[in-house]
A = this chain, B = another copy of it.
Amino acid sequence: LKVFSDANWSASAVDLIKTGIAPHILIQSTKPSLSVLHQAGPDDALAEADIICGQPEVANVLRSTNLQWLHLTSAGFTRYDTSSFREQAAARGLCVTNSSSVYDQPCAEHVFAFMLAHSRRLPVALRSRAANGSNEWTGLRNGCSSLQNKSVLILGFGAIAVRLLRLLGSFEMRIVAFRRRPRGDEGIPTVSLNDLPGPLALADHVINILPENSDSIHFINEQRLALMKPGAVFYNIGRGATVDQAALIAALRSGKLEAAWLDVTSPEPLPENHPLLNEPNCFITPHIAGGHENESESLARHFLENFQHHICGTSMIDRIM
């Protein structure tokens, strides 16, 4: 089998993959894709691949006539999440997997870090040298809060939400999820679009993990922000395009939202002087929620685990199509 990869692997990850797939061969792209948001150019070697692992452009995937399996080295899969691609993949019997299992834990920890940093007022407290008993100190102490007994709404119920539920489990929070088609096995109350207004109005913490697709663009808009509880905190670790940023700025300025914590924006990074950068209650990290030590090696190991399944014809992990 010919395995083509346009991912930007570390040297040790390349070793892992070559050893793990031998006697099958790895063909590395001459133009590696640096991240899920970058487009790599076409690559001749890709056309002959049996397996593609990385972030190839859709047109190039469809040009690969031998292709059996496409493995994405990300959790997000915006560019493939169209009815056109889904139909062509189904017609050709193409298996598509992503790397959710690699990113679910760090992403859940990242949003949890946001929640605790907010409730413990770290952005202000780490700059404060207030003396015990001073007004500033009393205000800071009383401004702190506990996550315990608060309510959470999770928008999007995938691998990250499942991890997040586990982490939040020890905090005795009231948690509701939204997904397009609730299955009943979520383990928490889960609503579809029609029933979203109720939980939106009750949540102290609204966590957006929605993927980007034609249904989710500007999902968080003026209307949905207006439905939220006054003083709610909004978190986004999904995709920036799912939020109408002008509406978000208005909700922050009016005080409707107490704060927004964003790992994703549109575009990334935001241009100089973008108003979100100057909002005092908007906290932004540069799309690093999935980052962790030895990320390249854990992606390689995840691919190799699926490679075994592919060879054995057993059930693939993180199959999305």
A35 CB contact (under 8 Å) in B133, B143, B270:
B133
Which residues of chain B are near A37, meaning CB under 8 Å?
A: 132-133
A81-113 interface (Cβ within 8 A of B): 105-106, 109-110, 112-113
User: Which residue of A8, A38, A122, A268 has the most chain B CB atoms within 10 A of its CB atom?
Assistant: A122
Is A167 among interface residues, defined by CB-CB distance under 8 A? yes
A126 CB contact (under 8 Å) in B123, B133, B290, B291:
B123
Q: Contact: B142 with A285, CB < 8 Å?
A: no
Beta-carbon nearest neighbor of A106 in chain B: B146
A120-136 interface (Cβ within 8 A of B): 120-123, 125-126, 128-133
A4-56 interface (Cβ within 8 A of B): 8, 34-38
Q: Contact: B146 with A292, CB < 8 Å?
A: yes
Beta-carbon nearest neighbor of A263 in chain B: B125
Is A144 among interface residues, defined by CB-CB distance under 8 A? yes
Q: Contact: B133 with A291, CB < 8 Å?
A: no
Sorted nearest first, the 6 A-B pairs with minimum C-beta distance are: A141-B291, A34-B133, A113-B116, A144-B291, A125-B285, A113-B120
Beta-carbon nearest neighbor of A141 in chain B: B291
Is A158 among interface residues, defined by CB-CB distance under 8 A? no
Complex CA gap A285/B142 in Å reads: 14
A residues near B, CB below 8 A?
Answer: 8, 34-38, 105-106, 109-110, 112-113, 116-117, 119-123, 125-126, 128-133, 137, 140-148, 166-167, 169-171, 268-270, 277, 283-288, 290-295
A295 CB contact (under 8 Å) in B141, B277, B292:
B141
Query: Taking the full assembly, how many copies of this chain does it contain?
Result: 2
Which residues of chain B are near A148, meaning CB under 8 Å?
A: 105, 109
Given A113-B116, A119-B113, A123-B126, A144 and B292 contact (CB-CB distance below 8 Å): yes
Complex CA gap A148/B241 in Å reads: 30
CB distance from A4 to the nearest CB of B (A): 20
CB distance from A106 to the nearest CB of B (A): 6
Beta-carbon nearest neighbor of A118 in chain B: B113
CB distance from A196 to the nearest CB of B (A): 27
Which residues of chain B are near A132, meaning CB under 8 Å?
A: 34-38, 268, 286-287
Which residues of chain B are near A109, meaning CB under 8 Å?
A: 116, 119-120, 146-148
Beta-carbon nearest neighbor of A169 in chain B: B170
Complex CA gap A133/B295 in Å reads: 14
A113 CB contact (under 8 Å) in B34, B117, B277:
B117
User: Which residue of A36, A109, A120, A143 has the most chain B CB atoms within 10 A of its CB atom?
Assistant: A120
